Amino acid sequence: MSEQQIHTVLRFAVIFLCICFGFVAVICQIVKVQTYEKSELQPIEQSQVKTDIVVRPARGNILDTNGNLLATSVPLYDVFMDTRVEALHLGGDTLFYKYVDSIAEGLSRILRDTTPQAYKARMVKAFKNPNRKKRDVKICGRRVNYIEKKEIEQLPLVNRGYYKSGFHYEDRHLRTKPYGSLGSRTIGNIYPESGIGYSGLELSFEEQLHGIEGKSRKQKVAGIKDEITVKEAVSGYDVVTTFDAELMDICESELRNRLNRLEAEWGCCVLMETSTGEIKAISNLDRTDKGKYVEKENHAVKRVEPGSVFKTISLLAVLDDGKMDLYDTISVEPQWEYYKKKHIDSHPKDTVYTLRSALAVSSNIAFAKMVTRSYEHKAEKFVNKLRHLGVCDSLKIEIPGAEAPRIDIPKDKVTLSNMSYGYSVELSPVQIVTIYNAIANNGKMVSPLMVKRVEKDGEVMKTYSAKTLHSHICGYSTIKDVRLALSDVVWDNNLGTASVRKDGKGRVIAKKAQSDLVRIAGKTGTAQVFEKGKYNRYKHRITFVGYFPEENPEYTCICMINAPGNYPAYDAGYDCGQVVRSIAEKTMAYTGVYVYEDGEKHWKKTR
């Protein structure tokens, strides 16, 4: 081997040894870092990691039919001061101490929740804290609104931004209802932390209201925060309901006034537009331990035994099946025993009623005889007829928790007789008002509707309309006959249970559902409350459901009150009837659908 070749080999050997040494050095450094320095380096590593943060979108609004806000999200902000910001420590901390007094005074003046001294002490304590993690503190004791945030941002030093002052904000959204308790249980609520709906329309339309979550990324470098938006959050859609805030206020006020007078357990009202099925107002009020009434449960969609308002449905079935005629007669007595079941009338006397007058006076015995005479050995046909009338339909209502009717085929004759006047069956107030609305609508049954459309920035994304459940629940002649009987309930001063109240000498001392401004037709109902395995004879649920104006119905309304406290002075026609009467008068005045013309006994349509 030549001398030149030997030099070449030696040169490659040196290079190879250097590479091997470097490789061994790298391996040793890796082992050292993974074993001895791991605990020291992990916090530094974590501080540099980019963390994705979910950005909650602005939740959509819930509005009434006129665009008034029923539920909306108001932005609130937590205010923080990061005293680790480098600028605050320059020049011997002079910047911080130069402005801390003016900032403290400004915060106290804007928020009015504590003194300037308290704010200064809070900031100084954070500034001097040896623990860096505790030097980024929430500076305000409460969340501030948008206007307050803007005022804080104008304070000396704060107006220079985060990197000079250390002030930064975290936004939160508070769900509020500008109209307070109006329809609160139906509108619903959300979980404050997650912002997800858990009841009412807030739950049913969660997907539309919630929006699409965004993403931001927060990074800490040398103790300084930096946050960038990775994906913009998309705000939720607005839900426009059929409700009218003014009509809701009318219904709640009238119901609340009557409940206060009766000291009842709870009450509910539902106002439906006859032709469209739109629910214009709904109110549910429960009595608290302190005697106040609040929106607590949605009784409007909970089924109960309806009592005598079911007699109208029994009359529809019997007349439409041709079992009897409206002017067929039935003899009644104070007490009638049927298969060891005693039926009692609230107006006991020996007399003869036509079916028309039996509905007006609300005779239990007359209706028990009517139904058992027609269906005694074919109870299944009675229930099938109720199904044909749409009474057993499960209404698809936009709020969760709505209960389906319970109408079972009776297994004995006694149950059939009880069903005739509203026991052993269960319907919700919304279902009752839907059936009466069909009567007012000449037999056309439409589903109740609470939401008209979903929109985004004024652009309609989806519309909703009431569905026709039955174009004709029964024959037109049957509807005509039943409407005559329902008119007598209110306007027959001798028999009608919702007509007038008389003194011992037969003189009229008060009107019940009768109005001088609008003609109402409807039916009263009183049912003993079933509790603890038996009926409580001293505790009742009273109801009036009717439509108006009678000659050309525009609205159907129900008022149901549970367990009035003034036994036995309460009266369904007087207490619930007057609530519906007041609602009818104020609704007609508000909507201007009809005007009373020159004192004449008729209405002129204005639209």
Which CATH code fits 47-80+171-240?
A: 3.90.1310.10
Per-residue pLDDT at 36 exceeds 70 = no
Please tell me the least confidently modeled range out of 132-141, 510-519, 555-564: 132-141
Which CATH code fits 245-605?
A: 3.40.710.10
* Cα 560 from Cα 541, distance rounded (Å): 7
* Cα 467 from Cα 435, distance rounded (Å): 14
* Cα 414 from Cα 411, distance rounded (Å): 9
Cβ pair 540, 526 in contact under 8 A? yes
- Domain ranges, ordered by start, for the chain: 47-80+171-240, 245-605
Task: Tell me the pLDDT tens digit for each residue of 228-277.
Answer: 777 888 889 999 999 999 999 999 999 999 999 999 999 999 999 999 99
One-character DSSP codes across 579-592: HHHHHHHHHHHHH-
Q: Which two tokens stand for residue 407?
A: 């109408």
Cβ pair 401, 408 in contact under 8 A? no
Q: Any idea which residue has 């911080």 for tokens?
A: 96
Helix (H) or strand (E) holding 184: helix 184-187
* Cα 232 from Cα 402, distance rounded (Å): 37
Q: Give the pLDDT confidence score for residue 140 in this predicted structure.
A: 86
Longest dimension (CA), the chain: 147
Amino acid identity for residue 593 in this structure: V
Q: Give a three-class secondary structure readout of 15-61.
A: HHHHHHHHHHHHHHHHHHHHHCCHHHHHHHHHHHCCEEEEECCCCCC
Runs of H (alpha helix) within 205-270: 206-210, 245-262
Q: Give the pLDDT confidence score for residue 381 in this predicted structure.
A: 96
* Cα 506 from Cα 513, distance rounded (Å): 18
Task: Tell me the pLDDT tens digit for each residue of 329-375.
Answer: 999 998 999 988 899 987 777 899 999 999 999 999 999 999 999 99
* Cα 180 from Cα 71, distance rounded (Å): 9
Cβ pair 140, 79 in contact under 8 A? yes
Q: C-alpha distances in angstroms, 98 versus 42, 113, 137, 161, 484?
A: 37, 23, 20, 16, 86
* Cα 491 from Cα 91, distance rounded (Å): 91
Cβ pair 513, 546 in contact under 8 A? yes
